[in-house]
Structure 1
Amino acid sequence: MFAAASLLACAAHAANPLFPKLFTADPAALVDNGTVYLYVGHDQASPADKDYVMKEWRMYSSCDMKNWTDRGSPIQPSAFKWAIGKVDAWAADVTKRDGKYYFYATVDHAKIPGRAIGVAVSDKPEGPFVDARGSALVTNDMTLEAPIAWDDIDPGVFIDDDGQAYLYWGNTVMKYAKLKPNMIEFDGPIHTVGMDRFTEAPYLHKHKGTYYLSYSRDFPEETAYYTGPSATGPWKFQGVIMSKNEKVKTIHQAIVEFNGKNYIFYHNAKLPGGGEYRRSVAVEEFSYNADGTIPFIKQTKEGPAANPSAACK
């Protein structure tokens, strides 16, 4: 629980983008015991750089969606000794199971050409996270549907009500596989799903019995989604829920319910000096339509109103 002294350390920033002191991207959110834990990549490129420079992931926490505490860096790419591990802290996702926290991350493999997905584990949401396998969970040679080296990126992890866990990922082709209860091995084959103009960032969440599979569509990207009756479909396309950004081609969403309200995290490039490789994470509140669909969500400067949970007391 947060004490008043802890709140004084918060980056009490009441508007979007959330974190004005750093360029951040690719938000992954975990709600645990009345607290939102937000994991982001740290964009460290200079204005002159022509590619991503991301040497670490950062983590922030909030008990009210308004005041955020900087928890530092819970993990760096160098935690995966089998990876190149220097400047490739690409999109990740996190979940909790049996008292442990599992962090699925995109890194560049040192021996198998292409992007790979690793999994790290910690006893605390703020880390430190350590490599849970000593090897990659997914490598580029395991998926041959796309002739590119970056088609195994953007992991999104989901645990269903029956305890079955799934990992979703991909670029140009969406893939998923069941996870064993240990969360570090696949339980069965890798499947592919045909999706409308799929680019990347598959993310599954569940609301009132319906499964929502959101993703980045086209390039520059907009956020679109499908719904289905199970974690594996069949899927029905529902439309676009967030427009393309003006100064950056990516957008990358995470959707959570917190303290009775619903939120979508994403990134844009609206900090001063922002751009393609200098992005900024933001968040909006939304309400489902009466038929369960997600409305179109506008990006705002104000962000959501405060929503303090019992953890703030």
Structure 2
Amino acid sequence: MQRWTNPVYPHNFPDPQIVRTEDGWLAIATNGPGGNVQALTSQDLVSWQPAPDALPTLPSWTRPGRVWAPEIIEVDGRWVMYYTTPGPDSRLQCVSTATADRPEGPYTDVRSGPLVFESAVGGSIDASPFRDQDGSLWLLWKNDGNAVGVDTWISLQQLSADGTELVGQPRRVVKQDREWEGTLVEGPCLWRVDGSYHLFYSGNGFASPDYAVGHAVADSLTGPWTKDPEPLLVGNDVAAGPGHCSLFADGDRVWMVYHAWMPGAVGTRDPGRTMWLSQVHFDGAAVRVDEPRLENTLVPAPR
């Protein structure tokens, strides 16, 4: 048994995603001192080094300063990024795409406008790609209804074979309807295990200690989706407001990466929302996530 410590990156790195690369591991996150899309690299998942901005240039129809929640996926040897950015001539956010030959980028967005922009319901944020067992590609996102006082829905829609366009019509998956979720759900992530589709999402305000990760399950992408009554991952005496997670596999283990505030420092910029890891355990339709821990000795260190 080896010891490793959370947070694995003790600086502001909100809305993180981790992917395996040929050289080790890559993490990307919301804009910050590291650029439009902050990036880190690691050999062991617990020691991280800053990398160049993965999206150094934005298209002319948007503007910097609010580039949020990037996620990437490999499609036929090319990498596609989905990211949130200000909509054209709007205070609302939208989703766009960028592509690169390497997972770390640099990514280039050549679109003439957004991929998703639900301006009538607050805009669109927090896009997350998913590849199903048959190879089809799908995109999750939420309408930013809490920005304009309407419901927030997590939606799901099929993507084109190259991952850069939407196909068909969106399907509504879940909205805020649990007390713990407050006025919103956001930050979706989809994972398939043994024929079950597991949706992970966050609820409540990101700048609240009550921010948490929820879970819903379905037998097919078309639903119906059944939510757990209570959140799956909540704050404790070492981490406040954990959320906006994504999942990744390391051998036979599945990990959740998420951000969390330090207790007593919710909403502050220093250190801000730091990057944490917890192991995910599946048992049929049920899921358990290890609580946030500073010192981790129950499993070998991530490799």
TM-score (norm 2): 0.81
Cα distance change on mapping 1:169 and 1:223 into 2, 3 Å: same
Cα distance change on mapping 1:16 and 1:272 into 2, 3 Å: farther
Q: Which residue is 1:295 aligned to?
A: 288
Question: Quick one: which of 209, 213, 225 aligns to 1:235?
Answer: 225
Question: Quick one: which of 290, 295, 307 aligns to 2:302?
Answer: 307
Identical aligned pairs, as a percentage? 22
TM-superposed CA distance for 1:267, in Å, is: 0.7
TM-superposed CA distance for 1:16, in Å, is: 1.5
Instruction: Report which of the two has the higher share of strand.
Output: 2
Question: Quick one: which of 259, 263, 269 aligns to 1:267?
Answer: 259
Say whether the 8 Å CA contact 1:259–1:307 is kept in structure 2.
no
Structure 2 CA distance for aligned equivalents of residues 36 and 230 of structure 1: 30
Secondary structure (helix, strand or coil) at the match of 2:13 reads strand
Matched residue type, 1:221: Y
Say whether the 8 Å CA contact 2:212–2:243 is kept in structure 1.
yes
TM-superposed CA distance for 1:132, in Å, is: 4.2
Say whether the 8 Å CA contact 2:31–2:66 is kept in structure 1.
no
Structure 2 CA distance for aligned equivalents of residues 183 and 60 of structure 1: 24
Q: Does 1:258 align with 2:250?
A: yes
TM-superposed CA distance for 1:116, in Å, is: 0.7
Q: Which residue is 1:225 aligned to?
A: 215
Q: Which residue is 1:49 aligned to?
A: none
TM-superposed CA distance for 1:135, in Å, is: 2.0
Structure 2 CA distance for aligned equivalents of residues 307 and 297 of structure 1: 14
Q: Which residue is 1:133 aligned to?
A: 111
Q: Which moved more, 1:122-131 or 1:111-120?
A: 111-120
What CA deviation, in whole Å up to 9, does each residue of 1:262-302 have, x standing for no partner?
1111111229966355211111123223x352114310112
TM-superposed CA distance for 1:224, in Å, is: 0.8
Structure 2 CA distance for aligned equivalents of residues 184 and 268 of structure 1: 31
Gaps of 5+ in 2: 145-151, 179-183
What CA deviation, in whole Å up to 9, does each residue of 1:85-111 have, x standing for no partner?
x21121121111100111100001232
Matched residue type, 2:212: E
Q: Which residue is 2:278 aligned to?
A: 284
Q: Does 1:66 align with 2:43?
A: no
Say whether the 8 Å CA contact 2:35–2:53 is kept in structure 1.
no
Structure 1 CA distance for aligned equivalents of residues 241 and 160 of structure 2: 35
Matched residue type, 1:254: S
Question: Quick one: which of 15, 29, 52 aligns to 2:18?
Answer: 29
TM-superposed CA distance for 1:29, in Å, is: 2.3
Structure 1 CA distance for aligned equivalents of residues 169 and 280 of structure 2: 36
Structure 2 CA distance for aligned equivalents of residues 80 and 231 of structure 1: 33
Q: Does 1:16 align with 2:3?
A: no
TM-score (norm 1): 0.79
Q: Which residue is 1:47 aligned to?
A: none
CA RMSD of the aligned region, Å?
Answer: 2.7
Q: Does 1:114 align with 2:92?
A: yes
What CA deviation, in whole Å up to 9, does each residue of 1:143-164 have, x standing for no partner?
x3x3x3xx41111110112121
Structure 1 CA distance for aligned equivalents of residues 5 and 240 of structure 2: 20
